[in-house]
Structure 1
Amino acid sequence: MSGGPGALPTLRAKGVVGNPNLPRELGVALGSDPDPYVRLHVSMHPGLTEAERAAVDYEVKPQDRLRRLT
């Protein structure tokens, strides 16, 4: 696996954002993650309030797809 010093935390963040049981506090914290993938998924997470989701800096591109939370 390649990546710099921040690669492992980013991979962990990518792994947890799809969890439907993501604790709200963690979702809020991940809303400022440097990875746009993580921020996009956090912005759509049903466990956050509308205000918390709106506070996430993200951009939805035409090619973006969100996987279903299971």
Structure 2
Amino acid sequence: MICEILELDPYVAAAGIAPERYTKGHEGQYAFPDVYASNCYGGPVAFEIQLSTTQLPTITRREDFYAQNDSNHPA
């Protein structure tokens, strides 16, 4: 659903939207965000949808990864 909503914005859709995109970090780490927009109003944005309970270290690791690799992480 996030992909469909992002595709309604011509600016974002033209830049590229990918579900479950393998994202490699600067230092060899990686992530699989649920949705990745390569250019969403100034830079890449990763969406991680969390429907179940998760641990704080997992959330912190994800947020740190995106911050260190120049991606916004809104969800």
TM-score by structure 1 length? 0.31
More relative contact order in 1 or in 2 (CA 8 Å, sep 6+)?
A: 1
**Greater fraction of residues in strand:** 2
Structure 2 length-normalised TM: 0.30
Select the structure that is richer in helix.
1
